[in-house]
């Protein structure tokens, strides 16, 4: 569970430049990107209850006060806010053996204080069943060749001043902490020396971390302190993942053309999913981030020599025409293409303009007056006259999207059916605008396959170009269900198509059709 101190009710309306990716759970919650890490590592499914913000807590308490639930009492941070936080934690933990509760921010942040007070109370209530693990920074001063333990000492002092004594310290550091430094930290923080754990920067990426922590006995300390009955740790899966990442046989370059490429966390699940896609055949995936606005300003030069192209999700007008130009380049030059959400919608716009002859085709998200709204709000095209009746959906950006896991039926002879190996799939959505059903026939007649449909056949979920080596656009976000140990059919197929393109071969999935 992630407790976030910011006052937004959820991250859904926050800019990716500020907050990074908005992760979507199976039940449609827009949450902190850390929940994506939880799912990728633990093979469990997150839900709305797994992410709570200050905004949501205060909204719940204020709603109760307005209803009179507090019987006229004065509503205060303690006990009302802290009780609401504790109840949220208990609801999330119900039915599980172990609950890991992470508090975002930094010890000493004023907005985090109610959360820290809440877990202090929970620690008192649960006694030996509760354990406090504190992540601290051990900076290395390169000019002096010196490691500084003082920030950790002060951070723990701050925690202890509000009644929380850490049981374990995870010390983020560039270099291994010496035994002398561990003993010093233990002495000043009242933590056993063996429980001062080095959280080193992983050489091969974050999937090496389970082994690094296991080597220092962190799992054994946790099992012992919580009184759990567990067999020996089995990290074979993780060793296999790291081995496949370290010992690659091939290398491909994928251009990711988007509008948030300058923020490393904006497409976090997507970049991870691309790397997962190469693991089956030990393919190293180099991701070349390309700003779609640069395409508009400077042309397609940055796409030269890439083995595949991906256009991710997004919102708004900025950089859209750069995405359309990118997709046309991929289509006309037989470069493997994967379009996700906005990347699928842009592919439909591009195809309508340059293949179907609908020169002014557009999405009504950008051009409300386009004569050919191939992408639009459902309310715009359910009225068969094509007349736009309402735009009320745009009034509240926080609650108007199609969100969460939804089922999709795949066409029997399609590439996606071959990749998934199933007739019906479930994937997660996060978008407002849809493929306009009035344009199904004209796009089909010109060669675009509508290879994935909602179960009631009312919504187009996946498009393909059968005459292209590998061209798929999907309305959903497959990156949210990709993991290093299990991969994802679309990303595995996409990366293997990139390798086939590099080697001048037909992608395996296409050859099998």
Catalytic residues: 341, 477, 479
Q: Going by C-beta distance under 8 Å and a sequence separation of 6 or more, which residues neighbour residue 465?
A: 331, 351, 447, 448, 449, 471
CA gap 379, 104 in Å, rounded: 39
CA atoms within 13 A on the CB side of 48: 9
Q: 433 near 317, Cβ under 8 Å?
A: no
Q: Is the bond preceding residue 79 a cis peptide, omega within 30 degrees?
A: yes
H/E run at residue 427: strand 424-431
Q: How far apart are the first and last CA of the chain?
A: 43
C-alpha closest to that of 348 among 249, 454, 446: 446
> What Cα–Cα distance (Å) separates residue 405 from each residue in 28, 429, 489?
7, 6, 17
Pairing of strands 250-258, 283-291: parallel
* DSSP of 320-371: HHHHHHHHHHHHHTT--EEEETHHHHHHHHHHHHHTS--TTEEETTT-TT-S
Which tokens belong to 290? Answer: 């390309």
CA gap 429, 26 in Å, rounded: 9
Q: Going by C-beta distance under 8 Å and a sequence separation of 6 or more, which residues neighbour residue 155?
A: 107, 108, 134, 136, 137
**CA angle centred on 475, ends 489 and 10, rounded to 5°:** 100
Q: 495 near 502, Cβ under 8 Å?
A: no
Q: Give me the residues paired with residue 257 across strands.
A: 290
Helices (H), 68-173: 82-93, 113-126, 150-161
CA gap 32, 50 in Å, rounded: 10
Q: Going by C-beta distance under 8 Å and a sequence separation of 6 or more, which residues neighbour residue 423?
A: 409, 410, 412, 417
* Helix (H/G/I), strand (E/B), else coil: 454: strand
CA gap 175, 140 in Å, rounded: 8
User: Nearest 10 degrees: CA dihedral of 471, 477, 480, 486?
Assistant: -30
Report the 10 Å Cβ neighbour count for 510: 19
CA gap 372, 469 in Å, rounded: 28
């Amino acid at each position: 569970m992630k407790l976030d101190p910011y006052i937004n009710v959820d991250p859904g309306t926050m800019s990716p430049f500020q907050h990074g990716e908005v992760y979507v759970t199976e039940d449609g919650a827009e949450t902190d990107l850390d929940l994506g890490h939880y799912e990728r590592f633990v093979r469990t499914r997150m839900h709305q209850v797994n992410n709570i913000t200050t905004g949501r807590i205060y909204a719940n308490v204020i709603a109760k006060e307005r209803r009179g639930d507090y019987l006229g009492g004065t509503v205060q941070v303690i006990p009302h806010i802290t009780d609401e936080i504790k109840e949220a934690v208990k609801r999330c933990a119900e039915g599980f053996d172990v609950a890991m509760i992470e508090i975002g921010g930094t010890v000493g942040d004023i907005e985090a204080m109610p959360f820290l007070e809440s877990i202090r109370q929970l620690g008192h209530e649960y006694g030996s069943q509760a354990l406090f693990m504190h992540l601290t920074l051990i900076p290395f001063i390169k000019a002096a060749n010196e490691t500084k333990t003082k920030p950790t000492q002060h951070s723990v002092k701050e925690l202890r001043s509000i009644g929380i004594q850490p049981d374990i310290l995870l010390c983020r550091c560039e270099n291994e902490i010496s035994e002398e430094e561990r003993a010093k930290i233990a002495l000043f923080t009242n933590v056993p020396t063996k429980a001062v754990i080095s959280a080193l920067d992983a050489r091969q990426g974050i999937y090496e971390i389970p082994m690094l922590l296991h080597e220092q006995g962190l799992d054994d300390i946790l099992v012992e302190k919580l009184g759990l009955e567990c067999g020996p740790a089995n990290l074979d899966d993780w060793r296999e993942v790291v081995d496949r990442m370290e010992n690659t046989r091939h290398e491909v370059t994928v251009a990711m053309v988007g509008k948030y490429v300058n923020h490393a966390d904006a497409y976090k699940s997507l970049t991870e999913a691309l790397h997962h896609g190469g693991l089956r055949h030990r393919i190293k995936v180099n991701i070349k981030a390309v700003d779609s606005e640069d395409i508009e300003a400077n042309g397609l030069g940055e796409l030269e020599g890439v083995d595949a192209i991906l256009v991710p999700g997004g919102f708004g007008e900025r950089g859209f025409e750069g995405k359309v130009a990118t997709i046309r380049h991929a289509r006309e030059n037989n470069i493997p293409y994967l379009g996700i959400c906005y990347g699928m919608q842009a592919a439909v716009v591009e195809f309508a303009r340059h293949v179907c002859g609908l020169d002014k085709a557009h999405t009504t998200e950008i051009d409300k007056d386009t004569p050919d709204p191939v992408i639009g709000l459902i309310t715009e095209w359910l009225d068969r006259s094509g007349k736009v009746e309402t735009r009320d959906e745009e009034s509240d950006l926080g609650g108007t999207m199609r969100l969460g896991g939804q089922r999709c039926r795949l066409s029997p002879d399609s590439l996606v059916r071959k990749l998934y190996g199933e007739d019906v799939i479930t994937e997660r959505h996060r978008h407002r605008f849809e493929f306009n059903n009035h344009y199904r026939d004209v796009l089909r007649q010109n060669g675009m396959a509508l290879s994935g449909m909602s179960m009631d056949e009312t919504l187009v979920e996946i498009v393909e170009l059968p005459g292209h080596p590998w061209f798929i656009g999907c309305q959903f976000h497959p990156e949210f269900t990709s993991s290093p140990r299990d991969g994802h059919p679309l990303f595995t197929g996409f990366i293997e198509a990139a390798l086939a393109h590099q080697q001048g071969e037909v992608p395996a999935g296409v050859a099998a059709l």
